[in-house]
Chains A and B, each alone.
Chain A
């Protein structure tokens, strides 16, 4: 190239064949752009994600413990090698009402510096009764910044056990680096699905121990997340943390056990004291009671004695009375006697009087009088004496009587006293009995209490012995919801990047290779001339090598510059729809991919050029200046099938021969067109497979429209009410009761969270969920022979029909169940058991907690109204609708649209460049033949048709190859881009085949259209020239 003439020739060559130069330039540019661009998308995604995580100071390690974490744990973790910083926090799950249903939110305390939130609106909480809420959750929840939000614990414990208050003012919305996509993880309360996060100040929590610790790892920030370097680095630190784990677990366990033991001992002592006290008290009471009883007994005796005495007294009194009465009688008798005597005396007196009155003073009379007087005086005296005696006696009697009366009164008194004593006694006795009963009660109560206490202590002792060892869970970032999925998406991008661009690149390399080979062949004569003139080989070859280098290198640079910026940008932006909070887009130039692509491109073209150059140069100059020996015309295989061959018109025969003759072109075109068709097919197919799953899932597999989840704690009446309400709703067509629970299923090393579904009525269940084989379409029935498991789940578990998987239950442990059938299912993971099988496994009947329902035709609009009305019942916890899920899914997968557009556009470009180039080469190669045709009088359109016919056949053949290639690619891509929770369709719609074919044909027609003008420009005079 040192020679001026050659240099000039070189520049002239480029100018003269600018089309060829540009075609190499662009095909290399496209190839390199695609290769390096799509490849770069993967590291760029990681970089962008990493930049976001670094900015938000996302934790590297998370530690949670089954027994909580203390300040000591914090200190211990801080001291671990490689740990840069540790921050501890609290978190809990809670329920809050959203649009009549209860949604689960994850409440956590704001960390001092880590896991920084991005405030989208408002501000961070400043007081303990303020909170900042997930921006995605708040939108559409009915809450707004400034509203108050009340949380429920969703368990038997009060929310205020963990939080200081249950009502918070929403002061802002935020996004968190812990939740980069739509999902917020799962929970053990409510629906089991966390709908959003809520962040509060640490002060808002009312807990003794931290629930989690977050750590930043030294030097982790400098590494890129989602790379092995980062993972290994963090893994190493985790290993360090593992070293303190045992000690900390034991410490925490010991702490809890000590605490419990202390408490137990206190309790024991207390019990002992209580026992003693109770015994004392009981004894006192018993003594008192006994005393009382003795006293009572004494009193009783006394009273009965009293009664006896009283009786005695009474008897005596009666006797006395009798005596007195006798006395009176005697006295009366005496008085009578006295009265008689008085009478007598009176007589005597009267006699005396009479005598005295008679005046008789005779002695006799005197005497008599005297005697009589004496008698009278004596009688008087006697009478007086007697009277006095009587009186005295009477007085005595009277006083006796009086005494008796008094005594009676006394007796009366005593009697009544005794009676009252008795009644008192009775009441006392009653009291005593009561006291006794009380005592008995107290005693038995004390006994039971003591027994209880003892039992409790025993239980507590048992509990203490049963206190599980503290278990630390040390997580890296993969514990964060969707964190891994971002990395997986990057991996998927990588997988795509390993297929598509390579395809592109191959085509590009082949095209530039062909072009360069063609160029060298075309210039055979010139090469011969130069050689004849005595130029050295390398000088001659230098032109072509330089030409190839210049075109390839400039194309590569252009491709890298454009491709590595635009493609990753498009892809990251597309994924941004899914990861909308990752707002960093870093797209540096990845020299590695760029260089790799450029070097490969350069190598391809250069080797091809050098090879063909030296191939030509090997020949003698004279030989070179003669036309190359024409290729032998060959009979094609088809000619040996006269049946077919004879039916072809002459022109078709020629076409077939031509096709077979230019094998390189044939394969290149078929490959190029096939690639284009395949790309299109993959593009459309992806759309079909992904967008179809919602349709397939909810229109062909899960036929129900809504699912009511029943409140776990609701009474059976309440549940019944909910069920009845749903069944009686006129808008509802059918309902089915199910048991629905999330369980972990394992098979070998694989494990998967799966929904366990036990339908109550297996026969009716086919109206709600259809079990069938995806490929054969064979329908399955659920029976007791084994479980039906969804296809993706089986795949994730690496289990097949007849394998035994293990359902892990918190209570029942590991339950083994055989897989009877595998059913088609696209979204979510399910394992279906029949009621009997469930009973066999769990030993109890399932408690139906979910009701599927379908709407009557034409009533679909009212689906959510039905749901709302059901939620009003106490038995309903939540309602979900399949059309919502469909919507969500569509949103989520919408990002793929852009990828599709990229695919379609690139396929178009590919097709165009390939066809254009190959046609160009074809026409140039066959210029002479075409010119001859023109001379023979073929019209322009006939000449074009001659070429087009071949192109069309190649396009059709290419499309056929493309269908095959596309199906394989599609399968591959689907499997690689598939997310864990869903199975994408494996099918490509017929319409997609049609579209892809039509578009491919369209490109082909377009290129042919462009070629028409080129054909028209072919000069017939060419045909007269000697063969070059």
Chain B
């Protein structure tokens, strides 16, 4: 499906007194359904802002975003919440698990509000945590926590899985296994996954690579033959 996600002239301007800071300065790109997309760029390039806007967590100053045909830039906050609720899965850099809930419960927390959720246990088993369902986040390693976070996002059965530096706080191997998991999910479930990273070494694994620099898209490449993460070293 072509142009499942489409961004047109997205800008985000912060006004700090007299000064205007253009965090995002007219970004256009489009993503097809089921693609594994990597957005890469240096710190402060505006990739997170774009992701936030795309994820309905922030609003754009200008421009238009359509996701699966729906214009989300014209949504009010309530509609945005519904959009996040039903269409978006979010994987955070710092996992953002509720420390007081077990792995299973963290997943269930998200399912509480979903229309058509997957089974929490199954998803957790799928991400390889079948044996740690009842552990609290503090009892899990960073990678395991991130897996829970991914499971939480996946279980909602979202249209779009957004991952903001999912490996940022993880060691190499764990980071790799998390990326593998994300890639596998994309492949197996046909999920559209967008991963933000500053690590351009990951580029070969993406179906589509978007480079962002100074709030603008500096380049976009489509990769017809992405490699498995296992083959990438950095």
Contact = CB atoms under 8 A, between A and B. Distances in A.
Interface in A1013-1028: 1020-1021, 1023-1027
A937 B113 contact: yes
A633 B100 contact: yes
A367 interface: no
Interface stretch (A113-121, A249-257, A651-659): A651-659
B21 to A, nearest CB: 15
A928 B156 CA distance: 20
B85 A937 contact: yes
A466 interface: no
Interface string B57-90: 1100000000000000000011001111110101
A567 to B, nearest CB: 43
A940 interface: yes
A653 B104 CA distance: 13
A661 to B, nearest CB: 5
Contacts of B58: 1020-1021
Task: Tell me what chain A mostly uses at the interface: helix, strand, loop, or mixed.
Answer: helix
Contacts of A632: 99, 136, 138-139
B99 A633 contact: yes
Contacts of A1026: 93-94, 169
A75 interface: no
Contacts of A934: 57, 81, 84
Given A633-B101, A937-B84, A1021-B52, A942 B136 contact: no
A661 B136 CA distance: 13
A658 B100 contact: yes
A929 interface: yes
A938 B100 CA distance: 18
A30 B136 CA distance: 41
Interface string B102-129: 1001001110111000000000000000
A24 B46 CA distance: 40
A932 B81 contact: no
B141 interface: no
A631 interface: yes
B136 A936 contact: no
Contacts of B110: 936-937
Contacts of A937: 81-86, 88, 110, 113-114, 156
Interface residues of B, number: 39
A634 B136 contact: yes
B99 A936 contact: no
A630 interface: yes
A933 B98 CA distance: 9
A746 to B, nearest CB: 66
B223 interface: no
Contact of B92 (A630, A651, A661, A1023): A1023
Nearest to A932: B96
Given A633-B136, A650-B109, A1024-B93, A936 B102 contact: no
Given A938-B81, A1021-B52, A1024-B92, A630 B138 contact: yes
Interface string A923-939: 00000110111111111
B138 A631 contact: yes
Contact of A1027 (B81, B94, B98): B94
Interface string A629-647: 1111110000000000000
B55 interface: yes
B144 interface: no
Interface string B28-62: 00000000000000000000100010010110000
B113 to A, nearest CB: 6
Q: Which of B57, B114, B138 has the most CB of A within 10 A?
A: B57
A631 B138 CA distance: 7
Contact of A657 (B77, B100, B137, B156): B100
A634 B169 CA distance: 24
Given A934-B81, A939-B81, A1023-B92, A661 B100 contact: yes
A1024 B48 contact: yes
A653 B98 contact: no
B100 A654 contact: yes
B164 interface: yes
Contact of A633 (B93, B137, B152): B137
A1024 B93 CA distance: 7
30 contacts: A630-B99, A631-B138, A632-B139, A633-B101, A650-B108, A654-B98, A654-B101, A654-B105, A657-B101, A658-B100, A931-B96, A934-B81, A934-B84, A935-B57, A935-B84, A935-B90, A935-B92, A935-B96, A937-B114, A937-B156, A938-B81, A938-B113, A939-B81, A1020-B58, A1021-B57, A1024-B48, A1024-B52, A1024-B92, A1024-B93, A1026-B94
Given A937-B85, A942-B113, 14 more contacts: A632-B99, A632-B138, A633-B102, A634-B136, A657-B100, A658-B100, A929-B96, A935-B57, A936-B90, A937-B156, A938-B85, A939-B85, A1024-B52, A1026-B93
Interface of A: 629-634, 650-651, 653-654, 657-658, 661, 928-929, 931-940, 942, 1020-1021, 1023-1027
